[in-house]
């Protein structure tokens, strides 16, 4: 048996997404920038996909810009917004995705900004009073806070963050890669400047994502070359990927409530089975349903001698997952997220992340495998 529990890293393509992409590959190979019939057909398809995404998010099609994925979208929002508004102060959390952290750190290294990190509690939740304290001192600040942490699963109340940022005229960016397609986003109600998404996190294709830019913001392109994406991103559009993204997001919204219930039930079942079968097991981050992603369970295990070999042993046994430790030897310095919450560096951790394709039988297999591995410690 070989089971896949690494859906926070990437998800399997849905068959309906594959079908629509293959159809587009066969029928619509024209360059969307070409003015002839073949080009116009491809352009129409791209714009239809843009309207689909915008409608689902309660945004304007003019606010949706397709990119190569979440990392490019994060970089574009951060670099160009800070540049456009002459911002010299940024606030983020120490457990953001590296697409955000490394970009902000490079800007600080180049002397363009001063970067402050928010305080965290032991579960990895950001201190909103600290955010308000920092913004009170520096009102025109760039704030980047992810909607949900990709390793711990913690969900941040982005509405509260938005309210604070608007009070102090701060520019707000949120990496919503882990929540897009899993939770509903209503951008007509949420006052936010930028959000980012990647299709492969919700059963769409890799290599495509989007950046939402609130219409009140005017920034320059990150990638120059052509007039694509209304002069905001040079390069021929990934037509097949864009079509797949729109189809995947449309399906995610249609099936969202059912999948939330199905996957949350599976996560709860795994948590119960782990507690029953592995003594001294604990969990990193929030585990309550309303505070954490229903797709992520981060487990801290007592098999201290296993270290980073735990994932290797799981892989040999047929379990695909991810994780690590708060501190590792050699070139691998471990998880900055686990270090950020003060996790025990001696205890290996595993992130199990679920999708609609997982089953209870697979959970039973994983729990039994972990029990066998830890019993050898």
Residues 243, 41: Cα–Cα separation, whole Å: 13
- Gap between the Cα atoms of 287 and 294, Å rounded: 9
Placement of tokens 């290599």 in the chain: 207
CA distances, 32 to each of 36, 55, 68, 239 (Å):
9, 22, 16, 8
**Closest alpha carbon to 298 in 354, 345, 237, 228:** 354
Contacts of 47 (CB under 8 A, 6+ apart): 61
Q: What is the DSSP string of 167-207?
A: HTT-EEEEE-TTTBTTB---TTTS--SEEEEEGGGTT--TT
> Helix, strand, coil: what percent of the chain each, to 5?
40, 15, 40
CA 1 from centre of chain: 29
- CA distances for 353 relative to 6, 275, 296, 356, angstroms: 5, 17, 4, 11
Q: Whole-angstrom Cα distance, residue 244 to residue 10?
A: 15
* Torsions phi, psi for 128 (to 5 deg): -70, -25
Return d(Cα 265, Cα 295) in angstroms, integer: 10
Could you give the CA distance from residue 363 to residue 320 in angstroms, rounded to a whole number?
A: 12
* Inter-residue contact 147 to 156 (CB < 8 Å): yes
Question: How many other CB atoms are found less than 10 A from the CB of residue 47?
Answer: 13
Tell me whether residue 374 is one of the annotated catalytic residues.
no
Rounded Cα distance between 289 and 266, Å, is 12
Instruction: Give ∠ CA 11-13-16 in degrees, rounded to 5.
Output: 140
Query: Which residue in 165, 303, 327, 374 is the catalytic one?
Result: 327
What is the C-alpha separation between 87 and 141, in angstroms, rounded? 6
Provide the annotated active-site residues. 327
């Amino acid at each position: 048996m070989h089971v896949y529990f690494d859906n926070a890293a990437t998800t399997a393509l849905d068959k309906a997404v594959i079908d629509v992409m293959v159809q587009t590959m066969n029928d619509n190979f024209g360059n969307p920038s070409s003015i002839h019939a073949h080009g116009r057909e491809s352009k129409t398809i791209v714009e239809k996909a843009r309207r689909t995404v915008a409608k689902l998010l309660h945004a304007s099609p003019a606010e949706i810009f397709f990119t190569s994925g979440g990392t490019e979208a994060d970089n574009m929002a951060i670099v160009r917004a800070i540049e456009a508004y002459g911002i010299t102060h940024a606030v983020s959390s120490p457990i953001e995705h590296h697409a955000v952290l490394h970009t902000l750190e490079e800007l600080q290294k180049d002397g363009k900004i001063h970067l402050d990190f928010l305080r965290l509690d032991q579960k990895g939740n950001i201190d909103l009073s600290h955010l308000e304290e920092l913004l009170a001192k520096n009102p025109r600040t760039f704030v980047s806070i992810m909607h949900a942490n990709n390793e711990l699963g913690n969900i941040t109340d982005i509405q509260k963050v938005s309210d604070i940022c608007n009070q102090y005229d701060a520019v707000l960016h949120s990496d919503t890669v882990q929540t897009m397609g899993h939770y509903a986003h209503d951008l007509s109600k949420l006052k936010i400047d930028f959000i980012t998404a990647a299709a492969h996190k919700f059963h769409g294709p890799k290599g495509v994502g989007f950046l939402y830019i609130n219409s009140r913001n005017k920034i320059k392109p990150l990638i120059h070359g052509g007039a694509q994406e209304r002069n905001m991103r040079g390069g021929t559009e990934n037509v097949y990927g864009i079509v797949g993204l729109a189809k995947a997001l449309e399906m995610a919204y249609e099936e969202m409530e059912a999948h939330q219930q199905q996957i949350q039930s599976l996560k709860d079942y795994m948590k119960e089975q782990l507690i029953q079968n592995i003594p001294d097991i604990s969990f990193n981050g929030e585990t309550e349903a309303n505070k954490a992603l229903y797709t992520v369970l981060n487990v801290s295990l007592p098999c201290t001698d296993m270290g980073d070999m735990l994932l290797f042993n799981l892989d040999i046994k047929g379990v695909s997952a991810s994780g690590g430790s708060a501190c590792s030897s050699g070139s691998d310095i471990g998880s900055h997220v686990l270090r950020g919450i003060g996790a025990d560096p001696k205890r290996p951790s595993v992130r199990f992340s679920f999708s609609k394709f997982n089953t209870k039988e697979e959970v039973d297999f994983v729990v039994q495998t972990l029990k066998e591995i830890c019993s050898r410690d």
